[in-house]
Homo-oligomer: A and B are copies of this chain.
C-alpha cells in the first residue's frame, strides 16, 4: 500500500475491519514506489474496500479499511498482491507487523460517526 493514498478515509459507521500494516523499509527503492501505487489502486478495486490512510516517517503505517474480515482476507489472497507480499518480505521490508482489527467506535471533532 502507499504514501500516494489520500488523507483521512471516509468510512461508514462501525463495525468494519481495519488492517494496520506497520513497516520498516530497507534502503533504496527497488521498484517499491511503483508497486506501492499499484497496490493502492488494486486494493481500491476490491469488493468491500472502504478506504486507506498511509504515512511514512521512519516507520511506515498504512491502515486499510474493509467492510468485514472476509473482505480483508480476500484482498490478502489476490494474486498480484501475493506476489507483492513475497517481494516485500524478500526485498522491501526490514520488518513489519500486520494487525487485523474490528473497529467498534469512531468519532471526530464533531462527535461520533
Contacts and interface: CB of A to CB of B under 8 A. Distances in A.
Interface of A: 3, 6-9, 11, 14, 18, 20, 22-24, 53-61, 63, 69, 89, 93, 95-109, 113
B57 A53 contact: no
A97 B8 contact: yes
Contact of A57 (B55, B69, B102): B55
A80 to B, nearest CB: 19
Given A56-B57, A104-B101, A63 B96 contact: no
Contacts of A22: 8-9, 53, 63
B53 A55 contact: no
A11 B14 CA distance: 24
